[in-house]
């Protein structure tokens, strides 16, 4: 009697070459390390502590829920490390560490484990954690500190060590004491949205501006993303679609009124768009699978980002744009399915 071969059914990511999930995730971590190193160099030990707290919290939370559900511990696949690093990179460098721990717990508990773990999550877990603290701690999430402060490797930003459930620490006095000239306390996006002041493109590329811990240097993020694209571990069409969608909306507005609306290059290089396009939108689980769907998915993220930044109440829209696109991914796959060769559309019944 012949023994039938077992059919193994898996969730995404679906691998087409001799690469394991662990190998891909480990290379993503390698790509993120350069961004993390720049963040620590720019903001000091507060950024380092932020990265450690979110990553360790995510690892511990993942281990706990695997133990509770009786599933094998999935920490070794490195996906949880990516979530922890990305989460930290989207937070202000002086974000209170206890709040960062809350964000890490929510990212894994609600963004990943609730759906069954890797391959089953509907949306990017790091952005779920970020969205939660955006709503829960609006003051802390919009409190920025300058970069390259003298003594940043010897002392913490005061708000980093704020006690749980206490009022946010005012860092304005700390900034003045360190004689940081010309610091406004606002990110480039806030300056442009509320004061119509554009930051020099070179500053956005090199990362000499205020912002989230890992979103300031567009050129470093882009190079790290190219590493994954050349290794065939990221679909380059997704960030390309994001960039195209961004230009598609921002360029006409800029041409209509150069004084009010920012230029396309400002939209591309400012805020979290580069990090979101390269490392979050390109998540294999939350993105579509069809060729046309991938382009549409990326374009939706880029267009929504511009719309939220310009016409919304927030000065940043990357996070919500990616979460919305994640939710739309199954529908995008459905409407962009390629027609089977030789298939004819059924004629409507008379």
Tell me how far apart the alpha carbons of residues 105 and 98 are, in angstroms, rounded to a whole number: 11
Question: Which distant-in-sequence residues (6+ apart) come within 8 Å of 90 by Cβ?
Answer: 126, 127, 130, 212, 213, 214, 215, 272, 275, 319
For 72-128, how does the pLDDT look when each residue is reduced to its tens digit (9 = 90+)?
A: 877 888 889 999 999 999 999 999 999 999 999 999 999 888 877 777 778 899 999
**In this structure, what token pair is assigned to residue 306?**
């511009």
Q: What is the arithmetic mean of pLDDT over 304-319?
A: 90
For 23-34, how does the pLDDT look when each residue is reduced to its tens digit (9 = 90+)?
A: 888 999 999 999
Q: What is the arithmetic mean of pLDDT over 190-208?
A: 79
Q: Between the CA of residue 1 and those of 4, 6, 91, what are the distances in Å?
A: 9, 15, 61
Q: Between the CA of residue 52 and those of 58, 102, 350, what are the distances in Å?
A: 10, 13, 66
For 252-279, how does the pLDDT look when each residue is reduced to its tens digit (9 = 90+)?
A: 999 998 888 899 999 999 889 999 999 9
For 147-190, how does the pLDDT look when each residue is reduced to its tens digit (9 = 90+)?
A: 888 888 988 988 888 888 776 666 655 565 564 554 545 678 87
Percent with pLDDT over 70 in the chain: 86
Answer whether residue 212 shows pLDDT above 90. no
For 270-309, how does the pLDDT look when each residue is reduced to its tens digit (9 = 90+)?
A: 889 999 999 999 888 888 989 899 999 999 999 999 999 9
Tell me how far apart the alpha carbons of residues 112 and 75 are, in angstroms, rounded to a whole number: 13
Q: Which pTM does this prediction carry?
A: 0.87
Tell me how far apart the alpha carbons of residues 270 and 188 are, in angstroms, rounded to a whole number: 7
**In this structure, what token pair is assigned to residue 325?**
């696109």
pLDDT at residue 348 in the model: 45
Q: Answer with the residue of higher pLDDT: 136 or 184.
A: 136
Average pLDDT over the chain reads 85
pLDDT at residue 276 in the model: 94
Answer whether residue 52 shows pLDDT above 80. yes
Backbone φ, ψ for residue 202 (5° rounding): -65, -35
Helix or strand run (H / E) with residue 328: helix 318-335
Backbone φ, ψ for residue 178 (5° rounding): -95, 10
């Amino acid at each position: 009697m012949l023994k039938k071969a077992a059919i193994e059914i898996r969730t995404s990511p679906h691998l087409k070459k001799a690469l394991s999930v662990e190998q891909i995730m480990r290379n993503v971590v390698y790509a993120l390390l350069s961004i993390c190193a720049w963040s620590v160099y720019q903001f000091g030990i507060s950024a380092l502590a932020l990265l450690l707290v979110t990553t360790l919290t995510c690892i511990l939370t993942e281990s706990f829920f695997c133990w509770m559900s009786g599933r094998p511990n999935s920490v070794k696949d490195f996906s949880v490390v990516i979530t922890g690093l990305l989460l930290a990179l989207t937070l202000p460098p002086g974000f209170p560490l206890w709040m960062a721990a809350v964000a890490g717990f929510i990212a894994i508990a609600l963004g990943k484990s609730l759906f069954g773990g890797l391959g089953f999550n509907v949306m990017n877990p790091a952005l779920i954690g970020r969205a939660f603290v955006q709503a829960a701690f609006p003051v802390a999430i919009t409190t920025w500190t300058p970069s390259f402060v003298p003594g940043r490797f010897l002392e913490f930003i005061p708000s980093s060590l704020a006690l749980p459930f206490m009022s946010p620490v005012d860092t304005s006095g700390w900034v003045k004491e360190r004689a940081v000239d010309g610091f406004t306390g606002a990110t480039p996006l806030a300056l442009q949205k509320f004061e119509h002041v554009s930051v020099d493109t070179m500053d956005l590329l090199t990362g000499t501006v205020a912002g989230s811990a890992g979103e300031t240097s567009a050129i470093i993020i882009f190079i790290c993303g190219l590493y994954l694209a050349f290794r065939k571990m990221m679909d380059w069409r997704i960030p390309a679609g994001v960039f195209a969608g961004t230009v598609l909306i921002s360029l006409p507005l800029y041409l209509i009124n150069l004084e009010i609306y920012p230029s396309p290059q400002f939209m591309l290089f400012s805020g979290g768009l580069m990090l979101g396009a390269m490392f979050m939108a390109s998540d294999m689980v939350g993105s579509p699978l069809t060729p046309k769907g991938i382009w549409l998915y990326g374009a939706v993220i880029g267009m929504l980002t511009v719309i939220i930044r310009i016409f919304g109440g927030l000065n940043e829209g990357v996070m919500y744009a990616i979460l919305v696109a994640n939710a739309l991914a199954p529908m995008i796959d459905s409407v962009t399915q390629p027609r089977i060769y030789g298939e004819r559309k059924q004629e409507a019944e008379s």
